[in-house]
C-alpha cells in the first residue's frame, strides 16, 4: 500500500514536470518558479522513498546520515511554501520587478528558517537526531508558522486574483487551497504527512493545467497581461463601483516602426517601453493590448502618483530610444480617464475608452496627455450623438453621395470623379465624413454604409452614359475595414450583376494605413478584386508612413497625393523639390498621379508643370450632388 502510494506520487510529479517543461513556450519568472516547486516536490517524494527504504532496513543508517536526510527534508517542506508564495506573486503581480529590498524582505523569514535548519545539528533549533530517533527542536513550531504564513499569504493572493484564471480553474484553485489548508492543519495535529503530500500533488496538477491556459492571458512579448485579460477585467470589474483611473498609453511611432523595422527590434522596443511603464508606475495591473497600446489601471488607494509617473516617463522620452542601432525619438499619447463611483458602467466604459483611443493626435510633444475629465465626457457625448445620427441616417436614407470632378492635365477635361459621402443630420446638422467614418468603423456600421455607397455609385454608372460624358471611371473610397472584409469581392460581384455595369468604370481608393492588418491577406484580397476588373488608387499618399516599396507591392494604378503635401510644396521649397522627384519616380514605375486639394490657379499651373496627370480640388469644384455634377461636367467638357 505504502509502496504503491509512493510510486504513484513519484510518477505523477515526474510526468507533470516533463509535461510542463515540454509545454513551455517561452521563459517567464512565474514559470521558472513553478518549475522549482515541482522540483522541490519531486525531491520530497524522493526523500519519501528514501525514508521508506530506511524503515524497511534496506539501507543501513547512522545518526550523521539521518541528520543529513532530515535536514534536506525540513528544508524542502518549509521551502516549498515560500516557493509557492513567490510563484503566486510572480504570476499575478510581476513581483520579480519589485525593488530588490522588497523581494529580500519577503524572503527574509525563509532565509532565517533555512539557516536554522542547516545549523540544527549543532543548535538543535529545528530538530536533532539521537540514536536514530528524530526530535523536534524549540523553534520547530516557528518553522511551521513561517510555512503557514507563506501558504496562507500565497493562497489569499491567489484567491483574490482567481478571476485571472479561466473560470473552472479559478474554482478548482479555491477548492485545492481549502483542502490543502485542512490537510495542513491535520498534519500539524496528527503528523500524518500522507494527506498533505497528496494535497500538494493535486495542487500541482491543477495549477499546472491552469497555467497552460493562463498563458492565454499573457502577452508573450512583454509578459504583461494581454487584451483578453483586459477584456476579462472590464467585464468583471468596471462598474463595480470602486473609483479608479485608467491610463491609455499609445506609442505614436508604432506604425512607423512597424513599417520600417523588423519584428525583433520592434518587439524589443515594445518590451523596453513595457519595462518603463512597469518601473515608473510600480503597479501590477498593466495590460499590453498590442499595436503599441498599453493600459494601466490605478485603483483609488494606491501609492501611485501621476506627477511622478509622468515626470519619469518624460525624462526617459527626452532621450532617443535605440531601435536596432538607430536612435529614434519615440513619442507617446496618454489619455487619462478618471472613473468615478457608479458613474460609468461597462458599456459606457468601452465607448469612453474607444473614444479616447480614436482621438486624433494634436501635438508633437514627447508626451501628448489628454485628461478624460476635460475632454472625455463631451467627446463621449458627441461620439454617442454621431453614432445615433449614423443609425438615423441608415434607417431614414439620409446619406447622400456627392461627386467631385477630377480633371486631366493633358486634355483639360473632366475625366473622372470621386464619390464622397455626405451626412446632413436633422439634429446635428452637417457631419463631416472625417468624423462619422472613423466612428462607423469602430462600431461596425461602416459595412452597411459602404454597401449604400457602392449601390449608389453603381446605380449612377448604370443610369448615365459615362463614356459619352467623357468620364473614364468613378472613384470609390474603401476603408481598411472594408478592404479586409472577406465578403467584399462577392459583394462587388453582386452589385456588378445587379446593375450590369462594366467594372472598368469603377476605381477603388485604398488608404495606406494598413499596418495593423494582415498584409498578406490584404494583398491577396486586392488581387482577387482586381481579377474582377476593378482598378485601384492609393489614397492620401504622404500622410501616413508611405513607402515606395510597399506601394509597388499593391496592384494600384494611381497614386493620390494628399492635399497636405500638395499644399506644403507651395510653402516650403524643399518640399517642392521632393514632390517633383516623387512624381517622376512614380512615373518611372508607370503609376498615374492625382493631386488633391488644388485650390488656386497658381497651384493648378505649378502642378501641371510638375507633371501630375490629374487634378482634383475646389479650384474646379467642391463635391456636388449627382445632377449638378452631370450638368457641370457636360458644360466643362463642351
Ligand atoms: P479623402 O478620400 O482624402 O477625400 C478628399 C477630401 O478632400 C474630401 O473631403 C474633399 O471634399 C476634400 N477636398 C477636395 N478638394 C479639396 C480642396 O481643394 N480643398 C480642401 N480643403 N479640401 C478638398 P471629405 O468629403 O470631407 O471627406 C473626408 C474623408 O472622408 C475622405 O478623405 C475619405 O477618407 C472619407 N470618406 C468620404 N466619403 C467616404 C466613403 O464613401 N467611404 C469611405 N470609406 N470614406 C469616405
Ligand atoms: Ca479619397
Ligand atoms: Ca485623399
CA angle 473/419/430 to nearest 5° reads: 170
HSE-up (13 A, CA, CB side) for residue 116 = 23
What is the atom index within ligand 1 of the atom nearest the CA of 476?
Answer: 41
Which range is most confident: 93-102, 179-188, 260-269, 283-292? 283-292
Ligand 3 centroid to 316 CA: how many Å?
36
Ligand 2 centroid to 358 CA: how many Å?
20
Closest Cα to atom 20, ligand 1: which residue? 597
User: Is residue 219 within 8 Å of residue 225, measured between CB atoms?
Assistant: yes
Q: Residue 515: which pLDDT band, with cuts at 50, 70 and 90?
A: very low
Strand pairing report for 244-251 and 429-431: unpaired
- Tens digit of each residue's pLDDT (9 = 90 or more) over 304-335: 888 899 999 999 988 888 887 778 888 899 98
* HEC sequence for 71-130: HHHHHHHHHHHHHHHHHHHHHHHCHHHCCHHHHHHHHHHHHHHHHHHHHHHHHCCCEEEE
- Tens digit of each residue's pLDDT (9 = 90 or more) over 425-471: 998 999 999 999 988 887 788 989 999 999 999 999 999 999 999 99
- Give pLDDT, residue 48: 82
Q: Residue 342: which pLDDT band, with cuts at 50, 70 and 90?
A: low
Ligand 1 centroid to 565 CA: how many Å?
15
Q: Which of 165, 241, 172, 159 shows the shortest CA–CA distance to 205? A: 172
- Best of 400, 402, 418, 420 for a ligand 1 pocket test (most atoms within 8 Å of beta carbon): 420
Q: Compute the distance between CA of residue 556 and CA of residue 534 in angstroms, rounded to an integer.
A: 10
Residue 57 burial (CB < 10 Å; 0-12/13-18/19+)?
exposed
Ligand 3 centroid to 538 CA: how many Å?
9
What is the atom index within ligand 1 of the atom nearest the CA of 599?
Answer: 18
Counted residue by residue, the chain has a size of 638
Higher pLDDT, 535 or 263: 535
Closest Cα to atom 41, ligand 1: which residue? 421
Closest Cα to atom 11, ligand 1: which residue? 623
Q: Compute the distance between CA of residue 591 and CA of residue 339 in angstroms, rounded to an integer.
A: 51
- Give pLDDT, residue 22: 72
Please check the confidence at residue 172 and state whether its pLDDT lies above 60: yes
- Tens digit of each residue's pLDDT (9 = 90 or more) over 610-627: 999 999 999 999 999 999
Q: Which of 369, 375, 374 shows the shortest CA–CA distance to 355? A: 375
Q: Compute the distance between CA of residue 128 and CA of residue 585 in angstroms, rounded to an integer.
A: 87
Closest Cα to atom 4, ligand 1: which residue? 420
- Give pLDDT, residue 608: 93
Ligand 3 centroid to 505 CA: how many Å?
19
- Tens digit of each residue's pLDDT (9 = 90 or more) over 5-41: 777 887 888 888 887 777 655 556 777 888 888 899 8
Mean predicted confidence (pLDDT) in 48-57? 83
Closest Cα to atom 7, ligand 1: which residue? 597
Ligand 2 centroid to 543 CA: how many Å?
12
- Tens digit of each residue's pLDDT (9 = 90 or more) over 85-142: 988 888 776 676 677 888 899 999 999 999 999 999 999 999 998 888 888 899 998 9
User: Is residue 176 within 8 Å of residue 199, measured between CB atoms?
Assistant: yes
Ligand 2 centroid to 549 CA: how many Å?
21
Give me the chain's average pLDDT, please: 85
Residues within 6 Å of ligand 1 by CB: 404, 420-421, 432-434, 437, 450, 453, 477-479, 539-540, 563, 596-599, 616-618, 623
Ligand 3 centroid to 39 CA: how many Å?
62
Q: How far apart are the first and last CA of the chain?
A: 104
- Tens digit of each residue's pLDDT (9 = 90 or more) over 557-604: 999 998 888 888 888 788 888 889 889 989 998 999 999 999 999 999
Please check the confidence at residue 389 and state whether its pLDDT lies above 90: yes
**Which residues are 135's β-sheet partners?**
128
What are the C-alpha distances in Å from 475 to residues 452, 461, 465, 467, 503? 15, 11, 16, 15, 11
Ligand 1 centroid to 420 CA: how many Å?
6
User: Is residue 419 within 8 Å of residue 457, measured between CB atoms?
Assistant: yes
Closest Cα to atom 27, ligand 1: which residue? 433
DSSP 3-state assignment of 193? helix
Q: Which of 504, 389, 500, 519 shows the shortest CA–CA distance to 449? A: 389
Distance between alpha carbon 512 and the CA centroid of its chain, in Å? 21
Please check the confidence at residue 347 and state whether its pLDDT lies above 80: no
What is the atom index within ligand 1 of the atom nearest the CA of 479?
Answer: 44
What is the atom index within ligand 1 of the atom nearest the CA of 619?
Answer: 18
**Which residues are 258's β-sheet partners?**
none
Closest Cα to atom 32, ligand 1: which residue? 434
Higher pLDDT, 301 or 400: 400
DSSP 3-state assignment of 365? coil
What is the atom index within ligand 1 of the atom nearest the CA of 446?
Answer: 44
- Best of 414, 424, 435, 477 for a ligand 1 pocket test (most atoms within 8 Å of beta carbon): 477
Instruction: Show the domains of the chain with their CATH numbers.
Output: 2-217 (1.20.1070.10), 227-376 (3.30.70.270), 399-637 (3.20.20.450)
What is the atom index within ligand 1 of the atom nearest the CA of 598?
Answer: 18
- Best of 448, 596, 599 for a ligand 1 pocket test (most atoms within 8 Å of beta carbon): 596
- Tens digit of each residue's pLDDT (9 = 90 or more) over 214-261: 666 777 777 788 888 888 778 777 766 667 888 999 998 888 888 777
Amino acid at each position: 500500500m505504502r509502496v504503491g502510494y509512493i510510486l504513484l506520487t513519484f510518477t505523477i510529479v515526474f510526468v507533470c514536470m516533463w509535461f510542463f517543461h515540454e509545454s513551455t513556450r517561452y521563459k517567464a519568472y512565474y514559470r521558472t518558479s513553478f518549475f522549482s516547486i515541482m522540483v522541490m516536490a519531486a525531491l520530497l517524494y524522493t526523500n519519501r522513498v528514501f525514508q521508506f527504504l530506511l524503515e524497511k532496513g534496506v539501507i543501513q543508517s547512522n545518526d550523521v546520515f539521518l541528520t543529513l536526510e532530515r535536514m534536506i527534508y525540513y528544508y524542502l517542506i518549509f521551502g516549498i511554501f515560500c516557493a509557492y508564495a513567490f510563484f503566486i506573486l510572480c504570476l499575478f503581480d510581476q513581483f520579480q520587478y519589485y525593488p530588490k529590498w522588497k523581494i529580500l524582505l519577503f524572503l527574509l523569514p525563509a532565509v532565517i528558517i533555512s539557516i536554522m535548519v542547516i545549523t540544527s545539528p549543532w543548535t538543535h533549533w529545528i530538530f536533532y537526531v539521537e540514536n536514530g530517533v528524530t526530535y523536534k527542536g524549540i523553534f520547530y513550531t516557528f518553522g511551521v508558522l513561517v510555512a503557514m504564513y507563506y501558504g496562507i499569504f500565497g493562497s489569499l493572493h491567489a484567491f483574490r486574483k482567481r478571476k485571472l484564471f479561466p473560470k473552472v480553474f479559478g474554482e478548482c484553485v479555491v477548492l485545492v487551497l481549502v483542502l490543502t489548508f485542512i490537510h495542513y492543519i491535520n498534519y500539524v495535529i496528527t503528523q500524518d504527512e500522507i494527506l498533505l503530500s497528496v494535497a500538494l500533488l493535486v495542487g500541482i496538477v491543477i495549477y499546472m493545467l491552469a497555467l497552460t491556459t493562463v498563458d492565454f492571458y499573457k502577452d508573450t512579448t512583454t509578459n504583461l497581461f494581454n487584451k483578453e485579460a483586459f477584456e476579462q477585467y472590464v467585464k468583471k470589474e468596471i462598474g463595480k463601483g470602486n473609483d479608479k483611473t485608467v491610463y491609455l498609453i499609445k506609442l505614436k511611432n508604432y506604425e512607423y516602426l512597424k513599417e520600417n523595422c523588423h519584428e525583433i527590434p520592434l518587439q524589443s522596443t515594445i518590451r523596453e517601453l513595457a519595462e518603463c511603464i512597469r518601473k515608473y508606475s510600480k503597479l501590477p495591473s498593466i495590460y499590453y493590448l498590442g499595436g503599441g497600446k498599453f493600459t494601466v489601471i490605478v485603483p483609488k488607494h494606491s501609492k501611485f502618483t501621476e506627477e511622478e509617473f509622468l515626470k519619469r516617463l518624460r525624462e526617459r522620452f527626452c532621450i532617443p530610444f535605440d531601435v536596432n542601432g538607430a536612435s529614434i525619438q519615440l513619442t507617446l499619447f496618454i489619455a487619462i480617464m478618471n472613473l468615478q463611483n457608479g458613474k460609468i458602467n461597462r458599456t459606457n466604459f468601452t465607448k469612453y475608452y474607444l473614444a479616447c483611443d480614436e482621438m486624433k493626435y494634436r501635438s508633437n510633444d514627447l508626451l501628448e496627455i489628454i485628461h478624460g475629465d476635460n475632454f472625455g465626457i463631451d467627446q463621449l457625448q458627441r461620439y454617442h450623438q454621431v453614432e445615433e445620427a449614423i443609425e438615423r441616417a441608415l434607417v431614414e436614407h439620409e446619406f447622400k453621395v456627392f461627386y467631385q470632378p477630377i480633371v486631366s492635365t493633358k486634355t483639360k477635361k473632366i475625366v473622372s470623379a470621386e464619390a464622397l459621402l455626405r451626412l446632413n443630420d436633422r439634429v446635428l446638422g452637417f457631419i463631416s465624413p472625417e468624423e462619422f467614418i472613423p466612428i462607423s468603423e469602430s462600431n461596425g456600421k461602416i459595412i452597411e454604409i459602404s454597401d449604400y455607397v457602392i449601390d449608389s455609385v453603381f446605380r449612377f454608372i448604370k443610369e448615365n452614359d459615362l463614356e459619352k460624358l467623357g468620364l473614364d471611371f468613378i472613384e470609390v473610397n474603401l476603408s481598411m475595414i472594408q478592404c479586409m472584409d472577406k465578403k467584399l469581392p462577392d459583394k462587388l460581384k453582386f452589385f456588378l450583376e445587379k446593375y450590369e455595369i462594366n467594372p472598368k468604370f469603377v476605381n477603388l481608393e485604398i488608404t495606406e494605413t494598413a499596418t495593423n492588418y494582415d498584409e498578406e491577406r490584404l494583398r491577396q484580397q486586392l488581387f482577387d478584386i482586381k481579377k474582377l476588373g476593378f482598378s485601384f488608387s492609393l489614397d492620401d499618399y504622404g500622410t501616413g508612413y508611405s513607402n515606395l516599396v510597399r506601394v509597388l507591392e499593391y496592384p494600384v494604378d494611381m497614386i493620390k497625393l494628399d492635399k497636405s503635401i500638395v499644399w506644403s510644396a507651395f510653402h516650403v521649397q524643399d518640399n517642392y523639390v521632393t514632390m517633383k522627384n516623387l512624381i517622376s519616380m512614380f512615373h518611372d514605375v508607370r503609376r498615374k498621379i492625382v493631386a488633391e486639394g488644388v485650390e488656386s490657379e497658381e497651384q493648378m499651373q505649378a502642378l501641371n508643370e510638375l507633371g501630375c496627370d490629374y487634378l482634383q480640388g475646389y479650384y474646379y469644384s467642391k463635391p456636388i450632388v449627382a445632377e449638378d455634377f452631370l450638368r457641370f461636367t457636360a458644360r466643362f467638357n463642351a
